[in-house]
Amino acid sequence: MLLALALLAACTPSPTDTGSPQPGELMAGFAKVRIPAPVGIGTSGYGPASSDSESPYSEIYPATTRVHGHPEVKVTVLSRGEGFEVVLLSADTVGIFQQLRRALVLDLEGRLGREMDDAVIWGGTHTHSGPGRVVDAGGPFDLIADRFFPEFYERFMGDVADAVEAAYADLAPATLATAVAQAPEGHNDRRCEDGGPDYTNDATPLLVISRDGQVEGLVLAYPVHGTVLGNEDLTLSGDAAGAIEEAVEDSFDHPVQVSLFNSWGADVSPGDPAAAAQEGADQPAGYDRMEAIGAYVAAQVQAALPSDAGSAEPEIAARTFRVPIDRAEIGYDDETFDYEYGAVYCGMNEEADCDAATTIDDLDEHCIPFNEDYPAPTQTLYTVGRIGELAFTTFTGEPGTRLAEQVMDGMRAHEDVQEVMFLGYTQDYLGYSILEGDWWQGGYEASGALWGPRQGEYLAHLAVLAFDAFEGTSVMAPGPESVAPFVIGDYDPVVQATATAPGTVLADVAASFGPTEVVTFTVAGEDPWLGPPLATLETAAGEPVLRPGGLPVDSDTYLFWVDLAVAPPWGEDAAERTFAWTFSMPVAHHGSASDPGLEGDYRLRVAVPRADGSVSEVVSGAFTVSR
């Protein structure tokens, strides 16, 4: 079946052929948007868990009650004209399903009046603390992302499309440089079954985008599997990936938008690098670790930055290929992985085999099958191409390190390909993909492949064939038609609860704080459907306080955490509810790259979104920070 997908034939026409459109000078644009997730929505990835935490915005997952590093979508547009552009979207979600991407492509084509299927590259950072409820696949897929919430999905997709439009509106002349950092201590090999817990590939490709002579955007691909927080934390967060983005931003002396794509994260876990400790406040579990990972990776990125601004005419080219996947296409015989509609959780009740020299021979006989009503996906897609000096490929879901290396080695068979940007968790989600021999040793990663032991190598082979077809050394057989987006359909709109005294102070700040203390301030807000209020740190005179990179110190960053308490609780009937939002800001951090070094007199200004569309501002009392 694999041979049928690639026919060695004449090269496809090159964009430089006579009469073809020619690329212009590079233009770059940036934008970002908060994911419009209400506090109380369930997260995505770990699975349902028993909990007393509930809200109208979650169903089978426990309801969130906190925000730490608000989940975002960041957009980077690199364009040399229509047909010579990429739109790079990095979202704080567990992954991206192809139906979401297809809906975005169709929306953008209507808004922008151009074909976008080859250009849009949408990846998830794989935080398990991003919101769920945007996947309308039902059945087993509810265990991944909670039940579909059409109104939230509609808001989310609309905001993402708005952000892409804003990035196009922001286009300005730019230059592009590329580099590859190495960040070994930011992650660990978590999988014993693949030959030991000590093998990682630490390559971190960088796209460095400058405008007006200084860096304004940076895109990096790093394998981190950023899951420091757990279900029990009840927290919306960008987790380790967001902490890396924030730390890299603050390693510059001016504002820079930084976007992270997780790469081959299937068999790695977040690292635990030593932090440059200073006297600071105690934080909830995991927060110091996320900051240490961020500070460490930021230092490696800074060390690898190129000395020149790069080219105003870099190669920008991309092409999208769709391919089928099922038992027949993979080529299983009648005795292997006999599940017509796919299966998962193979051998989850069996002990994994950590000896690389042996296997669990009947592992594929102990799986939970998908069924005709809720089958595993039967197609997926790749976008491949070149951005500057880097060749690139996307890859569905969670690939393992050695599988990704196999893909990159295949791409490097082209003489002029040296460095590859591998964008995992991007364009679609088919679970885990690892080498076939590794799959037969079992373990969590093997259990998450939707199409069994040969899924990984089948997908890896097709990724290389797609890049070959892009390069013109082969021609891929026509793939399936695009999947249709999820259907929103009719729904009952959210009815917001009536809030008691929104825009008032419930508990003011104390008068003074030392470096090991936490500033807290509580205000009454509205129903969380409107989003959390935003606190900004100011001097007592009203001047904004800035992070080292020149961006504001506010409660969407990792410098705060924000808790919501609802009274009476959601489970009780009430005509009104008090929504108490408490902002907690450590005066000093043990090792954060974003610590602004506070000393002097300050206050907090909180913008409270109101149900009528207005915003109330609440200002705390002044407080003094002493070191």
Q: What is the pLDDT of residues 120-135, one digit of tens each?
A: 999 999 999 999 999 9
Residues 6+ apart with CB under 8 A from 175: 26, 209, 210, 211, 309, 310, 311, 312, 314
**Structure-model confidence comparison of residues 397 and 351, the more confident one:** 397
- Report whether the peptide linkage leading into residue 568 is cis, meaning its omega lies within 30 degrees of zero: yes
Mean pLDDT, the chain, as a whole number?
A: 94
Query: Mean pLDDT over residues 519-533, rounded?
Result: 98
Q: What is the pLDDT of residues 456-468, one digit of tens each?
A: 999 999 999 999 9
pLDDT above 70 (res 226): yes
pLDDT above 50 (res 10): no
Q: Quote the pLDDT of residue 13.
A: 42
CATH number for the domain running over 505-625: 2.60.40.2300
pLDDT above 90 (res 538): yes
pLDDT band at residue 18, thresholds of 50, 70 and 90?
low
Q: Quote the pLDDT of residue 12.
A: 40
| 7/139 Cα distance (integer angstroms) | 38
Least confident range of 136-145, 205-214, 222-231, 503-512: 136-145
pLDDT above 70 (res 192): yes
pLDDT band at residue 269, thresholds of 50, 70 and 90?
very high
State which H helix or E strand residue 594 sits in: none
| 99/217 Cα distance (integer angstroms) | 28
Q: Quote the pLDDT of residue 250.
A: 97
**Structure-model confidence comparison of residues 331 and 139, the more confident one:** 331
Question: Which residues in 597-627 are b (16+ Cβ under 10 Å) and which e?
Answer: ebeeebbbbbebbeeeeeebebebebbebee
Query: Mean pLDDT over residues 540-544, rounded?
Result: 97
pLDDT band at residue 196, thresholds of 50, 70 and 90?
low
pLDDT above 70 (res 574): yes
Least confident range of 53-62, 186-195, 478-487, 552-561: 186-195
pLDDT above 60 (res 4): no
Instruction: Report the DSSP pairing between strands 623-625 and 512-513.
Output: parallel
Name the percent of the chain lying above pLDDT 70.
96
Q: Quote the pLDDT of residue 138.
A: 84
Q: Quote the pLDDT of residue 237.
A: 98
Q: What is the pLDDT of residues 468-499, one digit of tens each?
A: 999 999 999 999 999 999 999 999 999 999 99
| 554/606 Cα distance (integer angstroms) | 9
Q: Quote the pLDDT of residue 275.
A: 78
Cβ neighbour number for residue 20 with a 10 Å cutoff: 10
Q: What is the pLDDT of residues 275-317, one digit of tens each?
A: 778 899 999 999 999 999 999 999 999 999 999 999 999 999 9
pLDDT above 70 (res 17): no
Query: Mean pLDDT over residues 504-532, rounded?
Result: 98
Q: Quote the pLDDT of residue 615.
A: 97
Q: What is the pLDDT of residues 82-114, one digit of tens each?
A: 999 999 999 999 999 999 999 999 999 999 999
Q: Quote the pLDDT of residue 521.
A: 99
Residue 69 CA to chain centroid, in angstroms?
Answer: 13
Query: Mean pLDDT over residues 137-163, rounded?
Result: 93
Least confident range of 26-40, 193-207, 395-409: 193-207
pLDDT above 60 (res 9): no
Burial of 170 (0-12, 13-18, 19+ CB in 10 A): middle
pLDDT above 50 (res 16): no
What phi, psi does 186 have (nearest 5°)? -80, -10
Q: Quote the pLDDT of residue 412.
A: 98
Least confident range of 9-23, 178-192, 219-233: 9-23
Residue 65 token pair: 């009650």
Instruction: Report the DSSP pairing between strands 203-211 and 214-222.
Output: antiparallel
Domain regions of the chain by residue span: 505-625
pTM of the predicted protein model: 0.95
**DSSP secondary structure code for residue 405 in this structure:** H
Q: Quote the pLDDT of residue 50.
A: 76
Cβ neighbour number for residue 139 with a 10 Å cutoff: 11
